[in-house]
Structure 1
């Protein structure tokens, strides 16, 4: 019985160590002929970047490979048409998948639905800037749900159903429109009382928000 308990205990330890050592992102290496959910995810990301204009099929064919090569060249990667760790990392920094796009639209709608369209894109741009900055979590989920980061998350407005305008603003932000000039923060000057936020370098005012680095 003692030996059995020890064996079970060792198995649990090994399983725990394997889980702890697993990478946070473990996407499959994709190349011509690959198929499945990861390819569908890849095609969605490439489509949001206007690099893939075909129907999303979940099959890695010649059109997908061409789109991958365009992406790799754009971001200074080895343009081999193979989606390995380096290409996945760049894709996560510069694009969103379907569920992530929903998160982006929700945070834009919750934070800025009363703002002019440019102001809604600006909120999305701040999210993308944070993902890429190295100063914040490197995923949209991590950025949006970082404690205290967004009022809409704290007060529940994040869970409102976003409209088509919010999705359009999300897409424009992901595709690179940044009307904030690289801002990482924004605030409403009528309600902001934090001395720290007022001390940040301001970049632009859009609607009711001041954007800052």
Structure 2
């Protein structure tokens, strides 16, 4: 279990701790946020509420540590998180958490209903997948992800789409964790504002590197830079 500190109850890997999920609240969530923040996965305020930003941080941690990416903090996720944060030291008791329904942190929203964390992940994906491409090609990559968000063929969250197995080469080779440049950030905002240079594409690939026969079978829409966009 979590190592208890003086005058502090056992941490969230205690046998009696329930699975933590969206909108859970209290000291266990506060400690989890601190540990995720210690590792750099969580960048929001430590307030003891399992909000959307916290769930996205959990999903990123799970992906990076080879766990099932479901956003739920069960026994195995707790164990891995503890082992990864043995050097974290609790400095003070958890603050009182607002009663349910009051002062609930709300993610930044836009026309797609995305949080700021989603937008940041979009920018990282565009940067990792399309840096060096013409600007219109970067916007097109962002548009493909948003097109997938609206399609019944794909997960219904940005995190689910980006981390879907074998979906993006940048996830497989780790480039997804690079910090996006201003061009990628601007491309995401243009795509969110309705610009879709891909022509409604759901897929794209680099013909010089593609090894999948299946991707070549998709109806092609256009080519932008090194990428072919298709349905």
TM-score by length of 2: 0.55
Q: Which residue of 2 aligns with 1:176?
A: 194
Shift of 1:167: 0.7
Hey, what's the Cα distance between the residues in 2 that align with 1:141 and 1:129?
14
Of 112, 115, 122, the residue aligned with 1:104 is: 122
Of 170, 186, 204, the residue aligned with 1:152 is: 170
Where does 1:3-14 land on structure 2 (aligned, <5 Å)?
none
Counterpart secondary structure, 1:37: coil
Shift of 1:202: 0.5
Matched, 1:45 2:109: yes
Q: Which residue of 1 aligns with 2:207?
A: 189
Counterpart secondary structure, 1:45: coil
Q: Which residue of 2 aligns with 1:121?
A: 139
The gaps in structure 1 that reach 5 residues or longer are: 1-11, 20-25, 28-33, 50-93
Q: Cα RMSD over matched residues?
A: 2.6
Residues matched between the structures, number: 141
Shift of 1:35: 5.8
Q: Which residue of 1 aligns with 2:160?
A: 142
Q: Which residue of 2 aligns with 1:8?
A: none
Greater CA drift, 101-110 or 184-193? 184-193
Contact 1:127–1:184 (Cα < 8 Å) also in 2: yes
The structure with more helix, counted as a fraction of residues: 1
Give runs of ≥4 in structure 1 deviating > 4 Å.
none
Q: Which residue of 2 aligns with 1:212?
A: 230
Contact 1:183–1:212 (Cα < 8 Å) also in 2: yes
Contact 1:107–1:144 (Cα < 8 Å) also in 2: yes
Shift of 1:189: 0.9
Q: Which residue of 2 aligns with 1:52?
A: none
C-alpha offsets along residues 116-153 of structure 1, whole Å, 9 cap, x if unaligned? Answer: 01000111011001111010000000000001000000
Hey, what's the Cα distance between the residues in 1 that align with 2:145 and 2:230?
13
Counterpart secondary structure, 2:223: strand
Hey, what's the Cα distance between the residues in 1 that align with 2:122 and 2:113?
11
Contact 1:131–1:140 (Cα < 8 Å) also in 2: yes
Hey, what's the Cα distance between the residues in 2 that align with 1:167 and 1:151?
20
Contact 1:124–1:169 (Cα < 8 Å) also in 2: yes
Of 155, 174, 182, the residue aligned with 1:164 is: 182
